Amino acid sequence: MSSRSIRIGLCGFGVVGQGVFDHLNKKRKALGALLGADMSVTRIAVREKGKKRDVAVDEGIITSDPISIATDPEIDIVCELMGGTNTAREVTVAALKAGKIVVTANKALLCDHGKELLSIAQQYGGHVLFEASVAGGIPVIKAIREGLVINDFSSIYGILNGTCNYILTRMANEGLSYQEILVEAKELGYAEADESLDVDGIDAAHKAVVLAYLAHGKWVDFKNVRLQGIKEVSQEDILFAKDNGYAVKLIAVVNRERGGKALHVSVLPTLVERRSSLGSVDGVFNAVSIHGDVVGETVYIGPGAGRHATASAVISDIVDAAKLLIFGGPEGRFPFLDSAPKNGGGIDIARPDEIHSRYYVRLVVMDQPGVMAEIASILASHKVSLASVTQKEVPEKAERASLIITTHLTTEEAILRAVADLEGLTILEEKPFCMPIGTIS
Amino acid sequence: MSSRSIRIGLCGFGVVGQGVFDHLNKKRKALGALLGADMSVTRIAVREKGKKRDVAVDEGIITSDPISIATDPEIDIVCELMGGTNTAREVTVAALKAGKIVVTANKALLCDHGKELLSIAQQYGGHVLFEASVAGGIPVIKAIREGLVINDFSSIYGILNGTCNYILTRMANEGLSYQEILVEAKELGYAEADESLDVDGIDAAHKAVVLAYLAHGKWVDFKNVRLQGIKEVSQEDILFAKDNGYAVKLIAVVNRERGGKALHVSVLPTLVERRSSLGSVDGVFNAVSIHGDVVGETVYIGPGAGRHATASAVISDIVDAAKLLIFGGPEGRFPFLDSAPKNGGGIDIARPDEIHSRYYVRLVVMDQPGVMAEIASILASHKVSLASVTQKEVPEKAERASLIITTHLTTEEAILRAVADLEGLTILEEKPFCMPIGTIS
Residue B162, chain A, CB below 8 Å: the answer is no
What pTM, to 2 d.p., does this model score?
0.95
For residue range A3-24, list pLDDT tens digits in order: 689 999 999 999 999 999 999 9
- Check residue A33 and give its pLDDT: 84
Q: Which residues of A touch B296 (CB under 8 A)?
A: 137, 302-303, 308-309
Out of A147-151, A340-344, A428-432, least confident range: A340-344
Average pLDDT over residues A342-369: 88
Q: What is the ipTM of this complex?
A: 0.94
- Check residue B3 and give its pLDDT: 64
- Check residue B344 and give its pLDDT: 64
CATH architecture observed for domain B352-437:
2-Layer Sandwich (3.30)
For residue range B38-57, list pLDDT tens digits in order: 999 999 999 988 888 889 99
Kindly state the percentage of chain A with pLDDT values over 90.
76
Q: Nearest residue of A to residue B217 by CA position?
A: A34
Average pLDDT over residues B6-35: 94
For residue range B192-230, list pLDDT tens digits in order: 888 999 999 999 999 999 999 999 989 999 999 999 999
Kindly state the percentage of chain B with pLDDT values over 90.
76
Average pLDDT over residues A311-336: 76
- Check residue B328 and give its pLDDT: 64
The ranges assigned to domains in chain A are 5-137+307-338, 140-303, 352-437
For residue range B336-345, list pLDDT tens digits in order: 444 444 556 6
Q: Using alpha carbons only, what angle is made at residue A324 by residues A118 and B135, rounded to the nearest 5 degrees? A: 95
Q: Taking CB atoms and an 8 Å limit, are B295 and A277 in contact across chains?
A: no
Q: Nearest residue of B to residue A280 by CA position?
A: B275
Q: Which of B296, B300, B329 sits opposite A328 (nearest CB)?
A: B329
Residue A396 binned pLDDT confidence (cut-offs 50, 70, 90) = confident
For residue range A48-92, list pLDDT tens digits in order: 888 888 899 999 999 999 999 999 999 999 999 999 999 999 999
Residue B77 binned pLDDT confidence (cut-offs 50, 70, 90) = very high
* Residue positions of B annotated with a catalytic role: 207
Q: Nearest residue of A to residue B342 by CA position?
A: A30
For residue range A203-213, list pLDDT tens digits in order: 999 999 999 99
Residue B285 binned pLDDT confidence (cut-offs 50, 70, 90) = very high
For residue range B228-244, list pLDDT tens digits in order: 999 999 999 999 999 99
- Check residue A63 and give its pLDDT: 96
Residue A1 binned pLDDT confidence (cut-offs 50, 70, 90) = very low
- Check residue A330 and give its pLDDT: 43
Mean pLDDT of chain A: 91
- Check residue A36 and give its pLDDT: 83
Residue B71, chain A, CB below 8 Å: the answer is no
Is B144-303 assigned to CATH 3.30.360.10?
A: yes
Average pLDDT over residues A318-336: 69
A207 catalytically annotated: yes
Q: Taking CB atoms and an 8 Å limit, are B131 and A147 in contact across chains?
A: yes
- Check residue A347 and give its pLDDT: 87
For residue range B325-335, list pLDDT tens digits in order: 887 644 444 44
Residue B335, chain A, CB below 8 Å: the answer is yes
Average pLDDT over residues A186-192: 85
Q: Which neighbouring-strand residues pair with A98?
A: none
Average pLDDT over residues A328-354: 64
- Check residue A338 and give its pLDDT: 43
What superfamily does domain A5-137+307-338 belong to in CATH? NAD(P)-binding Rossmann-like Domain (3.40.50.720)
Average pLDDT over residues B92-102: 96
CATH architecture observed for domain A140-303:
2-Layer Sandwich (3.30)
Question: Which of B150, B156, B323, B326 is best to mutate for the A interface (most A CBs within 10 A)?
Answer: B150
Out of A14-18, A189-193, A197-201, A297-301, least confident range: A189-193
Average pLDDT over residues A212-239: 95
Q: Which of A33, A295, A342 sits opposite B303 (nearest CB)?
A: A295
- Check residue B333 and give its pLDDT: 46
